[in-house]
């Protein structure tokens, strides 16, 4: 009986609270993530840069300060975070 109560508590209380907290946290850090133009910017940069060559149009979408940070970073996770920062920090 105790095990059943734990799983019902887990599925109906803990998971929804975690999910809501995750989305509120991401939205507070990157407010532009709810904007469709910002998401297009992010995915265009990822798709364009995935083959190793980037078009000039894509370079002009990103702030030069972020370009320098992205170039100097070796960690791929940090590169994606910098791309997210460049697209999602402001509403477009």
Q: What is the 3-state secondary structure (H, E, C) of 51-65?
A: CCCCCHHHHHHCCHH
DSSP state of 33: G
- Cβ 86 vs Cβ 63: under 8 Å: yes
pLDDT band at residue 67 under the 50/70/90 scheme: confident
The predicted-structure confidence for 15-57, as pLDDT tens digits, reads as follows 889 999 999 998 888 888 888 888 888 888 888 777 777 777 7
* CA 75 from centre of chain: 16
User: What's the pLDDT score for residue 38?
Assistant: 84
User: What's the pLDDT score for residue 22?
Assistant: 93
């Amino acid at each position: 009986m105790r095990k059943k109560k734990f799983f019902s508590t887990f599925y109906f209380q803990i998971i929804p609270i975690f999910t809501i907290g995750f989305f509120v946290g991401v939205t507070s850090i990157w407010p532009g993530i709810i904007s469709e133009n910002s998401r297009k910017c992010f995915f265009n940069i990822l798709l364009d840069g995935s083959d190793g060559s980037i078009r000039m149009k894509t370079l002009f979408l990103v702030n030069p300060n972020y370009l320098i940070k992205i170039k100097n970073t070796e960690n791929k996770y940090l590169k994606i975070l910098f791309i997210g920062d460049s697209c999602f920090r402001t509403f477009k």
